[in-house]
Amino acid sequence: AQATSAEENFIVQAKAFVEKHLADEELTVETLAAEMTLSREQLYRKIMALAGYSPSAFIRKLRLQKAAQLLAAKADTVSQIAYETGFNNLSHFSKSFKEEFGKLPSEFASESDILE
């Protein structure tokens, strides 16, 4: 296997940290910056350069991807999944989910019935 670049390694580390703390609504860009031993500005520049979006969007996308996996697997209720992925406000969760996937979490969950 090819050795991963420092950039790939950085994204993998950042992703692992975010995924480990998904349920924590206190997870912030500052927490991630501290974990990656960077200033908030350095983290912003680095994630922007590597992923193409801001650190807060990076965290939100990972939370929503995990929520989508849980919804598809019928792991729990929509509200429980929202809390498990760090959203303590259900309407914010639904709005963010719809922006990311083009449908509401409840629609997403019921559509995965059809796919099985």
For 54-86, what is each residue's pLDDT tens digit?
999 999 999 999 999 999 998 899 999 999 999
The dihedral of CA 10, 14, 15, 16: what is its sign? positive
Both tokens assigned to 10: 């950085």
How many whole angstroms separate alpha carbon 78 and alpha carbon 60? 17
Residuewise pLDDT in 10s, the chain (116 residues) = 455 698 899 999 999 999 999 999 889 999 999 999 999 999 999 999 999 999 999 999 999 999 999 999 988 999 999 999 999 999 999 999 999 999 999 998 887 655 44
Three-class DSSP category at 5 = coil
pLDDT of residue 114: 53
Using a 10 angstrom Cβ sphere, with 0-12 exposed, 13-18 middle and 19 or more buried, the burial of residue 6 is exposed
**What is the secondary structure of 24-52 as a DSSP string?**
-TT--HHHHHHHTT--HHHHHHHHHHHHS
pTM: 0.88
Rg (CA), the chain: 15
